[in-house]
Amino acid sequence: MKKVLLIIMDGLGDRPNNSLNGKTALQAAYKPNLDYLASNGATGLMSPVSFGIRSGSDTSHLSILGYDPEKYYTGRGPFEAMGLGIGLEAGDIAFRANFGSVVDGKLVDRRAGRIKDTSELSKSLETSIDGVEFIIKSGVEHRAALVLRGINLSDKISETDPHNTDTEPLFTKPLKKEGEFTASVINKFIERSRRILNEHPVNLKRIELGELPANEIMLRGAGKIPEMPSFSEKYGMNAACISGTPLIRGIAKLAGLDIINVDGMTGRTDTNYENVINSAISSLKNYEFVLVNIKGTDIAGHDKKPELKKSVIERVDRAMEPLKKILGDTLVVITGDHSTPCSYGDHTGDPVPVLFSTEGILYDYVNSFDELGVSSGFYKIKSTDLMPIVLSYSERAEKYGA
């Protein structure tokens, strides 16, 4: 049996870039180590979740790890809350929350005048009502996440975001009988929040400056934290995750993976990739499966910066040099969780390159790890096919039949 190192370069897939002579970032990058692993490996293209699906990092990571998103992806609320670093527990109900502006009883701006920072406002709203704890954390600009923790909570309630302006702000309603209690505590929370926000010094100051107040909190994307069988139960491997991204760490925790912190891992493009790869390698002493998520490629894609994406790939590649020495007892798997083409600036449904490398593997003709290079490799798979292949190459799969 071999150990497994799975490195997911977030948003790795790309499309032709004018500034890179029509090449993708992977094609343009100097990446001798990735190419070495591809040359000594089985490669192919992987469609995250399924062909043509524009998956998020959450649904994609779930499916790569073998958790069907149809079953375990319980809405944006829980996963956005994880993304903001709220530690979630089974039974919690989570929402995306947006701060809006109400003037004369009407919602006039669903983004509260593009307010920069709502963290003080969020903090002032945390409370406990009828035994239910309200945890709220701010995100970028007007965005936040709200988590309800308590017993008998339900996500069968209507959203309070009218998705329109010039309309009265909403209360929630139960969508089913089981949602009645949750709806009632949320409505108490909304009434209380309005009082607090209208009198909050941050908002008083904004009004003084002629800015719109962030005095309404609107909820949507209600979802329950999924209960998932642990990764080690599913696959018989103890496992850890290295990631600078709260969302990925949250998903890893849900799957029961230990979280390993790495010095210099920022979740940005300035991450110390040597530290990340070296920590992953040394973690393989204590863990049979280590998942690494590298966020920089995705950030460059969202920012539409092909040169930056190329440079992130080159820096990661340099850090990968030591991987060549662990192939005797380790299966190294490298892929992306989706494409974030610099020409598009967001996730697309394009397939992403994948490679499996270990000593003794049947390698294909591919010797360049990029979207086109791997297209003549062995595999054209969906992300849900990845773990069975991992189990097979790492000599962990049981024979099915005789």
Q: Which residues of this chain interact with a copy of itself, rule CB under 8 A?
A: 13-16, 24, 42, 44-45, 49-60, 69, 73, 76, 79-80, 83, 247, 339, 341, 343-344, 346-351, 360-365, 371-372, 375-381, 385, 387-393, 397-402
Q: Give the Cα separation of 345 and 340 in Å (integer).
A: 6
DSSP 158-221: -----SSSSBPPPPP-BSSGGGHHHHHHHHHHHHHHHHHHHH-HHHHHHHHTTPPP--EEEEEE
Q: Give the Cα separation of 364 and 361 in Å (integer).
A: 9
CB of 378 to a copy of itself, least distance (A): 6
| Residue 60 or 279 with smaller CB distance to a copy of itself | 60
CB of 346 to a copy of itself, least distance (A): 7
| Residue 48 or 150 with smaller CB distance to a copy of itself | 48
CB of 166 to a copy of itself, least distance (A): 27
Which of 305, 386, 329, 383 is CA-nearest to residue 55? 383
Residue 159 CA: distances (Å) to CA of 30, 183, 317: 49, 10, 45
CB of 67 to a copy of itself, least distance (A): 12
| Residue 123 or 324 with smaller CB distance to a copy of itself | 324
Q: Give the Cα separation of 59 and 48 in Å (integer).
A: 8
CB of 305 to a copy of itself, least distance (A): 17
CB of 211 to a copy of itself, least distance (A): 29
| Token reading at 86 | 């709220």
What is the distance in angstroms between the CA of the first residue and the CA of the last residue of the chain? Answer: 20
Q: List Cβ neighbours of 201 (8 Å cut-off, separation of 6 or more).
A: none
| Residue 202 or 372 with smaller CB distance to a copy of itself | 372
CB of 339 to a copy of itself, least distance (A): 8
| Residue 247 or 260 with smaller CB distance to a copy of itself | 247
| Residue 49 or 284 with smaller CB distance to a copy of itself | 49
| Residue 202 or 361 with smaller CB distance to a copy of itself | 361
Q: Give the Cα separation of 11 and 17 in Å (integer).
A: 15
Q: Are strands 106-109 and 93-103 parallel, antiparallel or unpaired?
A: antiparallel
| Residue that the structure tokens 């923790």 belong to | 149
CB of 145 to a copy of itself, least distance (A): 12
* Phi-psi map region of 267: left, alpha, beta (phi>0 left; psi -120 to 50 alpha): left
Contact 267, 295 (CB under 8 A): yes
Q: Would you give the distance in Å from CA 174 to the centre of its chain?
A: 30
| Residue 32 or 360 with smaller CB distance to a copy of itself | 360
CB of 169 to a copy of itself, least distance (A): 25
DSSP 18-34: GGGTTB-HHHHS--HHH
Q: Give the Cα separation of 12 and 295 in Å (integer).
A: 9
| Residue 181 or 378 with smaller CB distance to a copy of itself | 378
CB of 206 to a copy of itself, least distance (A): 29
| Residue 55 or 203 with smaller CB distance to a copy of itself | 55
Q: Give the Cα separation of 389 and 391 in Å (integer).
A: 5
